[in-house]
Structure 1
Amino acid sequence: MKKLIVVILTFFCVVSVSAHAVFIETALKGTKGKSHTVKVVYGEPDEHEERSKWWWYKEGMQITLTLTKPDGSKESLTTTAQADHLLATFIPDQDGVYHVSLQQDTERKEGAKTQYQINAVATIQVGNATVGNTASNIGNELLVYADERSYKNKKEVSLIFYEKGKPAPHSFIQIIAPSGWIRWIETDEQGVARFTPEWTGKYFAEASKREKVAGQDFEEYSRASSMSFEVK
């Protein structure tokens, strides 16, 4: 990602940082009866690393995505390895809101005190129906959810941050805009984060949480999550 000029403004900042994360990249709109492509990528939203450089992926590792249909039914999507992404496809058979999600514990080295977990979600609208537009259909332990199918530029956006199925208050979400700026926003008591977008296009949201654990051969879980949403 291009270097960013550091600017500090009220309620947000733009910083020169790396936004490396695991993303599910896909068109946010699909067509019933037509094959829909989904990619798992690693890097920054506009710059993907070669798969051989992914720290969390081992050659031959099986990565399965969960497809949640508008009616709440689920099926597994098997990915195949490409040069800089993992590829999966599905054919929508209903109108409504589909969710494709990934939750994966990474390989932990012997003696390591932290277990890392990757979470990523993509939401796909098929037709005009709103059925399936609910976070409860997604089982990820860490999740940023867009409660609208799309948002309007210059109008307030609300995102809900969930940890283990419950809203996560006073937590920070990183927003990456199409222009390249990065804004950190804090959730309120209900786990809702709000901001007003300045550009149209696809936005990305990232969040992370650490949790102390007992009774394991490691000391903490470190979870990260990503998703994308559209501003028109």
Structure 2
Amino acid sequence: MKKLIFTLLSFFIVLSASAHAVFIETSLKGIQGKSHAIKIVYGEPDEHEVISKWWWYKAGMEITLTLIKPDGSTSSLTTTAKDDHLLTSFIPDQDGMYHVSLKRDTERKEGAKTQYQINAIATIQVGNSTIGNTATHLDNELFVFAEQTAFKNKKEVTLTLFQKGKPASNTAVQIIAPSGWIKWLETDEQGRVKFTPEWKGKYYAEVSKREKVTGQDFEEYSRTSSMSFAVK
């Protein structure tokens, strides 16, 4: 029993140990012809910082998201600022898998050696169709993608990390469970991580990765990315 408890504790860490990140919060199921709300939040899931505290946000700034429809066509979604989040919406006009994508370089102070980049995606299913659920629809430089469209409790989940369109191996991915715990996993040679969820509800995957660069007035990119999926 002691060994079992130690093993569990070695895999799970209290959520408060997690660094803040930018998330897209939205219902992962949509209805054709009905407005679908999308929030951009900073902090930890369900524990948001007020907008004035966001280190990458300037008062009055509008963030533009990319909406990718099931047929691959795209449009822009412009957010408006609320007390502790940015808000936008769209009306689905076809069944299938919609992707909402955020990709933005933060403001960099003069002389800073690191350029930070925020990436976040959300995948919304409208109707029962799975058309459009392909990683090639996304052009984020760092993102976690789920080929499967249904997630069941106690059943293995597979996620793939992509960097610049290719699977990224040997990279730590943080899984945040609805219970308030997190689990760290490392991608294999195909950029995949696998785990078995222990609770129902919405899960988040977070990742950060640094890359040395040349020919710029900074030395490295530090990219972060987040996505969510629902386990039933």
- Superposition TM-score, scaled by structure 1 size: 0.95
Contact kept? 1:67, 1:98, Cα under 8 Å: yes
**Could you tell me which amino acid in structure 2 is paired with residue 154 of structure 1?**
K
SS, match of residue 9 in structure 1: helix
**Could you tell me which amino acid in structure 2 is paired with residue 12 of structure 1?**
F
In the alignment, the residues of structure 2 paired with residue 179 and residue 89 of structure 1 have an alpha-carbon distance, to the nearest angstrom, of 28
SS, match of residue 17 in structure 2: coil
Show CA shifts across 1:179-229 (max 9, x none).
Answer: 011100111110010001000000000001100000100000000000000
CA RMSD of aligned residues (A): 1.4
Aligned match of 2:69 = 69
**Could you tell me which amino acid in structure 1 is paired with residue 111 of structure 2?**
G
Aligned match of 2:78 = 78
**Could you tell me which amino acid in structure 2 is paired with residue 9 of structure 1?**
L
Aligned match of 1:117 = 117
SS, match of residue 34 in structure 1: coil
Larger fraction in helix = 2
SS, match of residue 215 in structure 1: coil
Aligned match of 1:52 = 52
Identity of aligned residues (%): 72
Show CA shifts across 1:88-110 (max 9, x none).
Answer: 11000000000001000000001
Residues 87-106 of structure 1 mapped to structure 2, 5 A cutoff: 87-106=87-106
| Residue 76 (structure 1) shift | 0.2
Residues 121-160 of structure 1 mapped to structure 2, 5 A cutoff: 121-160=121-160
In the alignment, the residues of structure 2 paired with residue 34 and residue 9 of structure 1 have an alpha-carbon distance, to the nearest angstrom, of 43
In the alignment, the residues of structure 1 paired with residue 80 and residue 110 of structure 2 have an alpha-carbon distance, to the nearest angstrom, of 28
In the alignment, the residues of structure 1 paired with residue 79 and residue 46 of structure 2 have an alpha-carbon distance, to the nearest angstrom, of 21
In the alignment, the residues of structure 1 paired with residue 161 and residue 10 of structure 2 have an alpha-carbon distance, to the nearest angstrom, of 18
Contact kept? 1:36, 1:91, Cα under 8 Å: yes
Aligned match of 1:13 = 12
Aligned match of 1:29 = 29
| Residue 19 (structure 1) shift | 3.5
Contact kept? 1:159, 1:193, Cα under 8 Å: yes
SS, match of residue 216 in structure 1: coil
Contact kept? 1:43, 1:49, Cα under 8 Å: yes
- Superposition TM-score, scaled by structure 2 size: 0.95
Contact kept? 1:7, 1:13, Cα under 8 Å: no
Contact kept? 1:8, 1:14, Cα under 8 Å: no
Deviates more, 1:84-93 or 1:8-17: 8-17
Task: Extract unaligned runs of 5+ from structure 2.
Answer: none
**Could you tell me which amino acid in structure 2 is paired with residue 121 of structure 1?**
I
Task: Extract unaligned runs of 5+ from structure 1.
Answer: 1-5
In the alignment, the residues of structure 2 paired with residue 12 and residue 150 of structure 1 have an alpha-carbon distance, to the nearest angstrom, of 24
Show CA shifts across 1:52-111 (max 9, x none).
Answer: 000010112221000000000000001001110101110000000000010000000011
What is the count of residue pairs matched by the alignment?
A: 227
Aligned match of 2:177 = 177
Q: CA 1:119–1:200 in 2, change beyond 3 Å: closer, same or farther?
A: same
